[in-house]
Amino acid sequence: MFDVSAAALAAQLFTGLVLGMIFVLLAIGLSLIFGLMTVVNFAHGSFYMLGAYFGFVLLGLSGSFWVALAFAPLAVGVFGLLVERFLIRPLYGRNPDDPLLLTFGLSLVLVESARVIWGKIGLTLDPPAALAGAVNLGFTWFPTYRLFVIAVTIVVVVALWVFLKRTNVGLVIRAGSRDPLMVAALGVDLRRIWMLVFGIGSALAGLAGILAGPMRGAYAEMGVTMIIESFVVVVVGGMGSLLGAVVAGLLIGEVVSLTTFFAPKLSDIAVFGVMALVLLLRPSGLFGEAGLME
C-alpha cells in the first residue's frame, strides 16, 4: 500500500495543498462571521455552491472565465448582505440557536432551488486556455489551473490580513469581535459592520466555489460535504481564529488527500479523527480562545 514513488507522493501532497486552499477560503469566511457575530452559518456551503453556479452563468454570458471569477464572488457577497439584513438581523439578541436553524433551513432551500433552476445533473466549468495545461515542477507534472488556485488563495489571504490589520474598518472589525459593547459606545454602528463581515464571508465562499468549479464541476449538493469538513477545519483551528482557519485548512486538506491516496475507505472519517485528537489535547482548538461561546 505504501510502495509509491516520490513523484506520486509529491503530486498527492500538492493535490492536498489545493484542497486545503479551498478549505482555507471557506473556513476564513466562517471564522470571520462567527468571530464577530457569533453566528454559525450553516448556509455557507450553499454560498460555495452558488459561487460555482454563478460562475457558470457569467461564463456563459460573457465568454470569459476572468469576468466570471471577478463577479461571481461579488454576486454571492451581495446575496450574503441581503441574507444578513433581512433574515439574520431580526434574530439578533435571541437564542443563539435561532440563526443556526435559520441558516440550516436556508441551505436546504438553496440546494432545492439550484436543482430546480440548473437541474440535477452537474455542470462543467472550463478553465481559461492559458491555465489548461500542466507545469513541470521537476519531480512531476501538475495542472496549471491548480497552481493558479494556490496563488489566488495566497493573494486573497494576504489581502484580507492587510485589510484587517492596516485599515480603520479592519480595526473596528477586530475591536468588535473583542468588545462589541465598547465599540458601540464609541458611536460605531455595529450592524453595518456585521452586514459587511457577513458579505465578505459569503464572497469568500463564492470565490471558493468558482475556483473549485473547473476541478469539481457545479452541482446542487457540492456544498454539503464541504461545509461539514469546513466546520471541522474551523473547530480544529479554533472558533473565530483566522490563523487557525489557515493552518487547519491546509492540515485537513493534506489529511483528506493522503488518506484518499493510501486508504480510500478511511477518507471520510480521517478528518474527524484529527478533530477528536486536537480537541482532546486543546479543547479550544489549535489557536482558539476558551470561553468564546459563553
What pLDDT shows up at residue 5? 74
pLDDT per position as a tens digit, 167-189: 988 888 888 877 778 878 878 88
Mean pLDDT score, 262-278? 89
Same domain, 94 and 168: yes
Residue 183 lies in a domain: yes
Residue with cell 489535547: 281
The DSSP result for 102-143, as a single string, is HHHHHHHHHHHHHHHHH-SS-B--PPPGGGSSEEE-SSSEEE
- DSSP-derived letter for residue 218 is B
Quick check: 15 pLDDT over 70? Answer: yes
The answer to whether 179 and 38 are in contact (CB under 8 A) is no
Alpha carbon 252 to chain centroid distance? Answer: 13
Last-in-domain residue among 220, 237, 271: 220
Structural domain that includes position 253: 222-294
Residue 24 lies in a domain: no
Same domain, 38 and 162: yes
Length of the chain: 294
pLDDT per position as a tens digit, 218-252: 999 999 989 999 999 999 999 878 899 999 999 99
What pLDDT shows up at residue 96? 79
Residue 81's DSSP bridge partners are: none
Residue 152 lies in a domain: yes
Cα(233)–Cα(9) distance, rounded to whole angstroms? 23
Same domain, 214 and 244: no
pLDDT band at residue 200 under the 50/70/90 scheme: very high
Same domain, 156 and 234: no
Last-in-domain residue among 220, 248, 265: 220
Same domain, 231 and 287: yes
Percent of the chain with pLDDT over 70: 97
pLDDT band at residue 2 under the 50/70/90 scheme: low
The answer to whether 195 and 84 are in contact (CB under 8 A) is yes
Q: Which of 247, 256, 229, 228 is nearest to 285 (CA)?
A: 247
Residue 14 lies in a domain: no
Mean pLDDT score, 36-62? 93
Quick check: 3 pLDDT over 70? Answer: no
Last-in-domain residue among 220, 245, 278: 220
Same domain, 160 and 269: no
Same domain, 141 and 93: yes
Cα(113)–Cα(50) distance, rounded to whole angstroms? 10
